[in-house]
Amino acid sequence: MISVNCLAQNYKFNLLTKYKSENGFYKQKIIYSNKNDNSYFLYIYKFKDKNIGEIVDLKNSKHHFFKVIESEGYEKEIHHQFKYENTSNVFYRDLPNTVFDFKVIAKDSLSKTVKLIKYKNKKKKIITSIAELKIKNIPYNLFSLFRFSCLHPYENFTNLSFSENGIVESYKLLDTKNPIFIYLDYYSENIDFEVKVKQ
């Protein structure tokens, strides 16, 4: 159990994922999240010589920043401790004209294949991109986790959501000029910790 001794907002985490890409905007994204609440995420990244932790709270439009102390435990497991540094307010907005559609093109008991179609505007006459997603069937809807982890610049666009349960295992942008392939490198539900942040 990890905890930061500050008053007010509590963020509970029970899931750890790592997405990787060789040619996407993010080469790697390590995210802690809550499989029962898709309104906040914690990700860890390096800035200069420091490990930074950032909680992005989409519901309350806040970013909380932490210094991350990394240590190696039993069987080379990586452990993180978080030291609170500051909070900033952020205003999120969705693109007013961009429209996304999901079409399930194959399905079985283990997974589904879904096309993600992006249109230029609400008329849905001009397609600007098509991607193919493989989604593994699990009892939780973790598409928002994938969006936050990988879909730049739509990370914080809560109107981009998929209604069915599952976790995205792979994403392929079907563009011959700029093909992008993203895959789920690591997934663990063996996580249980809480971060407390003062308001």
DSSP state, 75? G
What b/e string do you get for 31-68 counting C-beta neighbours within 10 Å, with b at 16 or more? bbbbbeebebbbbbeeeeeeeebbbbbbeeebebbbeb
Mean pLDDT of the chain: 87
AA identity, residue 116: L
- Whether 4 is covered by a domain: the verdict is no
The span from the CA of 4 to the CA of 198, in Å, is: 10
- Whether 150 is covered by a domain: the verdict is yes
Between the CA of residue 67 and those of 48, 54, 195, what are the distances in Å?
Answer: 12, 9, 13
The pLDDT, as a whole number, for residue 2 is 47
**Does residue 44 share a domain with residue 78?**
yes
Split into its structural domains, the chain has a count of: 2
Residue 112 has pLDDT above 80, yes or no: yes
**Does residue 122 share a domain with residue 87?**
no
**Does residue 181 share a domain with residue 106?**
yes
**Does residue 109 share a domain with residue 64?**
no
**Does residue 107 share a domain with residue 46?**
no
**Does residue 108 share a domain with residue 60?**
no
- Whether 1 is covered by a domain: the verdict is no
The span from the CA of 194 to the CA of 179, in Å, is: 38
- Whether 51 is covered by a domain: the verdict is yes
**Does residue 158 share a domain with residue 87?**
no
Q: What is the pLDDT of residues 77-100, one digit of tens each?
A: 667 888 999 999 988 777 778 889
**Does residue 159 share a domain with residue 111?**
yes
Q: How far apart are the first and last CA of the chain?
A: 22
- Whether 114 is covered by a domain: the verdict is yes
Closest CA to 7 of 107, 84, 117, 100: 84
The pLDDT, as a whole number, for residue 7 is 53
**Does residue 103 share a domain with residue 33?**
no
| Mean per-residue pLDDT, 10-33 | 88
- Whether 142 is covered by a domain: the verdict is yes
> Which structural domain, as residue segments, surrounds residue 78?
9-92+188-197
AA identity, residue 131: A
The span from the CA of 146 to the CA of 161, in Å, is: 10
**Does residue 180 share a domain with residue 111?**
yes
Highest averaged pLDDT of the listed ranges 6-10, 73-77, 115-119: 115-119
Q: What is the pLDDT of residues 36-58, one digit of tens each?
A: 999 999 998 887 888 899 999 99
